[in-house]
Amino acid sequence: MEPVHPEFVPDASLSRAEMETLQRDIAEQAVFADDLPFDPDTVCRHRESGQQQLDETGGGDGGNPGEAPIVLGVDQAFLDDERAVSALVAMRNGEVIERVHAVAPTEIPYIPGLLSFREGGAILAGFRELSVEPDIAFFDGSGRIHFREAGIATHIGVMLDLPSIGVAKSLLCGTPRSSTEGLAEGERVPIEADADVTAPDGTVIGHAVQSRQYDSPNRHINPLIVSPGHRVSAETAADLVLACSAGYKLPEPTRLADQYADEAKKTVGT
């Protein structure tokens, strides 16, 4: 698929100030409320068994009528300091229906807050290779949990006008409403905007989500940090990540994209 908003294509040649201005413009266009082309409850409830569900009706307006929604996992790996590989894995009803990958220059180093300008090129190249129409995409990193409410999931989601969610392993900014330690599997803690975020203080910009947890004493797993990218609410984003989890910390689309990115990295060679 191609960008619906070419003016938001991440341009690594912009100055830092211009990048930040672009992010504010993107955040203005972002929709942090549910506007999905499918019913969130129809996304396959994965579950440890790895067993799939039979699809019933599965669709709202717009998307893939009569079938369960297509959930896309997107993740990047690096061949070296100047080339990124983006891997995209599309799933429906818990099964992979397409996998594509693409390589593109990174152009700029990693700078907290500007991740989409480093990895965006590879991601866009990956989307050009994709033939199916995803209903929603999971990105590695933040969405609204970002200084200017425009993390990589929001940036790419708005540019493509594709519902999106950010799935990160650690917190970029914002403040958990309560302790995120000792959560049981399935539990979540709201992450609120603070002085570091453009949203009004106290705005719920995402959640710490315990997608997996050991049942015993010493030894625990840290929660995922989930935030809305575009056209999804913070609550539904967390619901969908849990629905797509299958016994691992990362939701299946993300876990498989992660795995595929490493595989592609070795295949592409140097």
Point out which residues bind DNA (CB under 7 A): 75-78, 110, 112-116, 140-142, 146, 151-153, 166, 168-173, 214-219, 258, 261-262, 265
The angle formed by the CA atoms of residues 240, 227 and 196, to the nearest 5 degrees, is 170
CB of 135 to DNA, least distance (A): 22
Q: Measuring CA to CA, which residue among 35, 244, 128 is closest to residue 120?
A: 128
CB of 80 to DNA, least distance (A): 9
Judged by CB, which is closer to DNA: 178, or 216? 216
Judged by CB, which is closer to DNA: 142, or 180? 142
| Cβ proximity of 136 and 240 under 8 Å | yes
Two tokens, residue 270: 């140097």
Round to whole Å and give the CA distance between 12 and 229: 21
Two tokens, residue 68: 């369960």
Judged by CB, which is closer to DNA: 38, or 260? 260
Judged by CB, which is closer to DNA: 6, or 112? 112
CB of 74 to DNA, least distance (A): 10
Judged by CB, which is closer to DNA: 39, or 201? 201
CB of 224 to DNA, least distance (A): 8
On the 0-12 / 13-18 / 19+ scale of CB atoms within 10 A, 54 is: exposed
Spatial strand order of the sheet with 136-140 comes to 95-105, 83-92, 70-80, 136-140, 164-168, 224-230, 204-209, 188-192, 175-176
Judged by CB, which is closer to DNA: 57, or 110? 110
CB of 225 to DNA, least distance (A): 7
Strand partners, 76: 86
Judged by CB, which is closer to DNA: 13, or 270? 270
- For the four alpha carbons of 85, 90, 95 and 98, in that order, the dihedral sign comes to negative
- For the four alpha carbons of 99, 100, 103 and 107, in that order, the dihedral sign comes to negative
| Cβ proximity of 143 and 169 under 8 Å | no
CB of 61 to DNA, least distance (A): 30
CB of 186 to DNA, least distance (A): 17
Q: Measuring CA to CA, which residue among 225, 247, 239 is closest to residue 169?
A: 225
